[in-house]
C-alpha cells in the first residue's frame, strides 16, 4: 500500500537528491538506533515524505546531520539527518506497519505476518504510549477498513475516506498549532490518494483472482481525474500552510513522483495532462 509517494529523481539536482536521501537514511538510522534492526524494514517512502514535509516548516529546531557509511550503501559515506521529526516519522513507520501486519494476519492467516508483527511489538508498545492518539486512529481505522472489505463495500468513497482519516491523524503531529487543521486535511487528502492508487493498481489482479477491490463496481471510472482530485485537495491544504523549506522536493513528489508507479504500469506518457486517454480498468 505504501510506496507511491516518492520523488522523480530524474528531475532532481544532485543536491536535491542528497537532501531527499538524507531524510530517507535518517529515518533508517533512527529506526536502527531507537528500536532494532528488524524495525528498519518498516522504512517507507511515504513517511520519508512526511518527514521532509513536516521538517520544512521548521517548527522544531533540533535537526542535525551525521555522516556515515552503512550496510546498504557501503561504497561512500553519506549524509543523514537526525532530529525529532525524523524520530517521529520513524515511529509512525513502525505503528503503521505493525497494524498492517496484524490486519494481514487476521485476513490471510499467514503466520509469517504474525511473526513479523511480533518482532515489532516491543517498539510499538513504546510508540503507542508516546503517541496514543495516532496509534488509536491507525488501529481503529484499519479495523474499520477491514470490516468494510470483508462485507464487500461497493462504495469506494467509504474506505478511501476512512484511510484518509488515519493519515490525517498521523500528519497532525502537533494539534496545538493554529495551522493544525491544514496538516490534518493535507494528510487526509494524501491518505485518500494513497488508498485509491493502491486500489487502482491492484484492480486488474484482484478481478482476475476474484479478490475484493473497492473499485469493482466502478465500470466507467477514469482513474487519473479522481486521483488528481485528491492530489488537488493536498495542494489546497498545502497552500494554506506557511512557507516550507523543502518546497522543491514537495512539488517534485506531488506533481511528478506520485505518478511514477501508475505510468510504469500503464505505459502512459503524461497521465495528468492527457485527459483524452481512457483506460479500461
Partner 1 sequence: MIYDPYQVLGISHDAGEEEITKAYRQLAKKYHPDLHPNDPEAAAKMAEINEAFDMIKNGRAGGAQSSYQQQAGGYHSQSYGYGQYQYNPFGGATQMDPLTTAALYINLRQYISALNVLNQSPTRPAKWYALSAVANYNTGNRILAMEQAQTAVNMEPNNPEYQNILEQVNSGSQFYQQKSVGFSRAGMIAPLCCMGACCAGNFLCPGRLLFLPCLC
| The one among 151, 208, 210, 243 contacting partner 1 by CB under 8 A | 151
> Is residue 272 near partner 1 by the rule CB under 8 A?
yes
- Beta carbon of residue 114, minimum distance to partner 1 (angstroms, whole number): 18
**Inter-residue contact 124 to 95 (CB < 8 Å):** yes
Q: Which residues contact 32 (CB under 8 A, 6 or more apart)?
A: 39, 40
- Among 172, 121, 165, 173, smallest CA distance to 145 is for 165
Among 65, 147, 180, 245, contact with partner 1 (rule: CB under 8 A): 147
Full DSSP string of 102-153: HHHHHHH--HHHHHHHHHHHHHHHHHHHH-HHHHHHHHHHHHHHHHHHHTT-
168 forms part of the interface with partner 1 (CB under 8 A): no
36 binds partner 1 (CB under 8 A): no
The answer to whether residue 260 forms part of the interface with partner 1 (CB under 8 A) is yes
Q: How far is the CB of 203 from partner 1 (least distance, A)?
A: 13
The Cα–Cα gap between 175 and 200 comes to: 32
CB of 8 or CB of 34, closer to partner 1: 8
Among residues 16, 60, 126, 140, which is the contact residue for partner 1, using CB under 8 A? Answer: 140
Kindly state the helix (H) or strand (E) to which residue 161 belongs, with its residue range. helix 157-171
The one among 75, 208, 209, 269 contacting partner 1 by CB under 8 A: 269
The reply on whether position 115 binds partner 1 by CB under 8 A is no
Q: Which of 42, 241, 14 lies closest to 34 in space, CA to CA?
A: 42
Residue 88 three-state SS = helix
Residues 54-113 that bind partner 1 (CB under 8 A): 72
Least distance to partner 1, CB of residue 174, Å: 25
Q: How many residues bind to partner 1 according to rule CB under 8 A?
A: 70
Q: Applying CB under 8 A, does 235 fall inside the site for partner 1?
A: yes
User: Per CB under 8 A, does 218 bind partner 1?
Assistant: yes
d(CA 139, CA 25) in angstroms, rounded, equals 27
* Residue 261 sits in the site that holds partner 1 (CB under 8 A): yes
Buried b (16+ CB within 10 A) or exposed e, 6-22: bbeeeebeeebeebbbb
Q: Is there binding between residue 16 and partner 1 (CB under 8 A)?
A: no
DSSP-derived 3-state class of residue 165: helix
Q: Left, alpha or beta for 267 (phi > 0: left; psi -120 to 50: alpha)?
A: left
Phi and psi (nearest 5°) for 175?
-75, 0
Q: Is 41 in the site for partner 1 (CB under 8 A)?
A: yes
Residues that bind partner 1 (CB under 8 A): 1-4, 6, 8, 10-11, 24, 28, 40-41, 43-46, 48, 72, 140, 143-144, 147-148, 151-158, 160-161, 196, 201, 217-222, 224-229, 231-233, 235-236, 251-252, 255-256, 259-265, 268-273, 275
Amino acid at each position: 500500500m505504501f510506496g507511491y509517494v516518492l520523488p522523480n529523481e530524474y528531475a532532481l539536482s544532485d543536491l536535491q537528491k542528497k537532501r531527499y536521501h538524507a531524510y530517507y537514511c535518517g529515518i533508517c538510522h533512527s529506526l536502527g538506533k531507537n528500536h532494532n534492526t528488524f524495525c528498519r524494514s518498516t522504512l517507507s517512502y511515504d513517511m520519508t515524505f512526511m518527514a521532509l514535509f513536516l521538517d520544512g516548516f521548521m517548527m522544531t529546531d533540533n535537526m542535525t546531520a551525521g555522516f556515515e557509511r552503512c550496510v546498504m550503501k557501503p561504497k561512500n559515506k553519506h549524509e543523514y539527518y537526525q532530529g525529532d521529526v525524523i524520530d517521529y516519522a520513524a515511529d509512525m513507520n513502525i505503528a503503521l506497519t505493525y497494524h498492517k501486519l496484524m490486519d494481514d494476519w487476521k485476513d490471510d492467516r499467514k503466520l509469517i505476518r504474525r511473526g513479523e508483527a511480533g518482532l515489532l511489538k516491543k517498539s510499538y508498545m513504546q510508540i503507542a504510549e508516546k503517541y496514543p492518539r495516532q496509534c488509536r486512529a491507525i488501529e481503529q481505522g484499519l479495523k474499520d477498513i477491514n470490516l468494510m472489505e470483508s462485507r464487500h463495500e461497493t462504495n469506494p468513497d467509504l474506505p478511501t475516506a476512512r484511510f484518509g482519516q488515519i493519515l490525517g491523524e498521523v500528519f497532525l503531529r502537533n494539534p496545538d498549532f493554529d495551522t493544525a487543521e491544514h496538516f490534518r486535511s493535507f494528510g487526509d487528502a494524501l491518505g485518500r490518494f494513497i488508498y485509491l492508487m493502491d486500489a487502482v493498481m491492484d484492480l486488474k489482479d484482484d478481478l482476475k483472482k476474484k479478490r475484493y477491490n473497492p473499485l469493482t463496481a466502478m465500470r466507467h471510472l477514469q482513474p487519473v481525474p479522481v486521483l488528481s482530485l485528491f492530489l488537488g485537495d493536498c495542494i489546497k491544504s498545502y497552500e494554506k500552510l506557511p512557507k516550507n523549506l523543502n518546497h522543491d522536493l514537495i512539488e517534485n513528489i506531488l506533481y511528478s513522483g506520485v505518478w511514477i508507479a501508475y505510468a510504469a504500469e500503464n505505459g502512459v506518457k503524461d497521465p495528468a495532462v492527457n485527459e483524452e486517454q481512457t483506460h479500461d480498468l
